[in-house]
Structure 1
Amino acid sequence: MSSPPDSSGRGSRHLGRHPAVIGALETVRILLVLVTIAFVLAAIAWFIGIAEQRPLAAIPGWAFTGLAAATGLSVRPGEALMSFPPSLLCLIVWLLLRNAASRTATALDANARLQRAGQLTAHRAPRTSAYLSIAGAFVLITVGFGFALGAATPSLIGFTRVGLLVGTAIVFGAGLYPQAAAADSRLSARLGEQWTGALEDAHRVCVRAGWWLAGLAALAVAAGLAIEFEKVSAVVDLYSAPLEAAIGLSVVQLLYLPGILAVALAWLSGAGVHLSAAETASAFSAAGGPRPAVPLLAIIPENPPAFLAAAPALLFIVGVLLVTLRRSWQHVDLPVITVASAQLLVLMWMWGLFSTGGLGPGGLEVFGVPALMFPLITGGLVIAGLWAGYGLILAARRAQPQD
């Protein structure tokens, strides 16, 4: 007896369609949303700057420039290069693309059940063609039109970010990692089931690490705003309309929220933050040079107090607590800590990659975290904490009386 097709609506609408068509249609769904939002925002910007008498033809260029930036590409809307991506927009694009891959996987599963029942003709390599279709359609519109109509500019870091955004969204959305049963069996045969089973537990550790680090960074930013509130207010007062400037700058800074959190972690860890091409700030170093009129930059102290030299210990403690405060059902052993360390290093590298670049003229040509030192120092402190926490667990186990 054949299994009924997916009646949820997610898979049934694509019954019988070629896998490549399914992937392309699901990508078109999210692209319609993204392009519409980009054009609306570009039109609003055109109306705001209507006194400059820009032609209506500027709206498509602005829209696709913004869309290209939201995928991680470097853009040059004027004379200045902007290669620091709006990381919150990048995250939203990633979530939408992951959803498209998930819906495609659901449709492919529904078709596969009918193919096994003999009701549909099987296609060759359906998942490969579907996911390549997703990547191709997305890159064609966002990257292609970003260069053709927008102000996207080629750069190695921009192309790397686009590849990571698209690739990881499809992998996680399509659930490719649990489907690699053959690869899992080969790994189990070579390394043992203990190491392959560590992947899931290590993934949980890394997810919690991401949330905890984001929380620590948010607390650091909140503390900085509270302590340096007068300096932040003074920066806003420099504008001719302080209230409107405060609202506008808050919205703009929100678009870079994940990058701002990475900057806070880099400052705490001692990896440093590029405030300009000539100045780097951290909890260990003074930064008294001129700064652009951006409110959040005012919270970075010019001469950090001596006690902030202990700030890197916070990241180490986070690593310890990730292991020692785990849930009772979560398994932690040598393979888990080893795999989690590797995954965390990759996570920090990707986070840093979307948190560095230029933000335009006025001293922001070089800004953000150092792409190499951020994962090595910031991630290294957390990883050291993981191993220290694991050592505490081993010591506690040895101290327990043997029956």
Structure 2
Amino acid sequence: MNERIQGQGGFSDHGLERLTRCIQTDIDKGMIPGASMLIAHRGKIVHESALGMQDPSTAVPMSKDTIFRIYSMTKPIVSVAIMMLVEQGRLLLSDPVSKFLPELGNLKVGVERTVNGKQVLELEPALQPITVQDLLRHTSGFTYGIFGDSLVKAEYRQAGIAHPRMSSDEFVKAMGQVPLMYQPGTVWEYSHSTDVLGVLLERVSGLTLDECLARCVLDPLDMRDTGFWVEESQHHRIAEGFNVDPVTGAEVRMNQPRRRPNLLGGGGGLMSTMRDYLQFAQMLANGGELGGTRLLSRKTLEWMTSDHLAGMPQARNGLSYLPGPGYGFGLGFAVRTEPGAAFIPGSVGDFTWSGLAGTYFWIDPREDLVGIFLMQAPEQRNHYRQLFRNLVYAALD
């Protein structure tokens, strides 16, 4: 299914056809089950397509209202909700997180040293508290138990951090008992920081995270199909992946979206659709407003999409700097700082993030452009993020 709405708006027919043909060819080869793509330019949808299969086990075709696990594309939504509290005077970015989550008030930093030829983990006091800003820009010192290995990450795995059967209180308590990977405010490290922000939202608002996000972001933007689980009546719309990735041979594992989890993961728990996420992304592209509804001020959004790693010489020296060359990191987004250096086209000031299962979006303010790509193929995510972006810019007149 392929559709262009309200004219091409600065895009070539040939380029958009090449985009569709390229992705469809890979689907026909069995490399990915299917994909949904959307391009908005100057506030209008210029390309929208739903290709391949929504569920390869049933051969149900992809549709424009298919529901996807968006994983870490949850993070920008939670970050916006946090900044709304900042605008309301209920938070400061300089606030220590322990002001709201006292379980995080006595953290230690894990330092690996070699003793008698063996790697051991020694604990040192944190030299400064984790701030709300640190959580937003991933300089808290927290990490994930996945994405590489270290003795600290092993501690996370052993503690079962962020298990879906945990409550939010149990999660924060567990986070207060594992060591930090780095001193707070020094190194960018992808982490459970936004999950912690989700609990902070609950504590400050007095609402559960689903209620808080609905009230702050989802309902005002009419994002009716976005939530932490999918009701039974809508299960037929859920996108699924292959059982085994055809390229890598790895077993495909994704979270279950069909019942409410105990832990509502602010860092990666949401389900959404292409049109719902466009509502959120277009609000950002418009400077914080959509259809007369303003969530954030223009200056707050400029603040969020500035590089908050500037002036931090060690920030990019972690095990894996996921924003990549040419990008810094703001308050919930990777932010382009250089016209070159990156291995993808774009503009200085564009901002972006993605999700583990293969979802991706970016906003290019200079070109007034929004791109959204959704699939459920975790092993292929890096390839298709780059491919989609290359083809979108190639189609721009």
TM-score bracket, shorter-length normalisation: under 0.3
Larger relative contact order (CA 8 Å, sep ≥ 6): 2
Larger Rg: 1
Task: With the length of structure 1 as denominator, give the TM-score of the two structures.
Answer: 0.23
Larger proportion of helix: 1
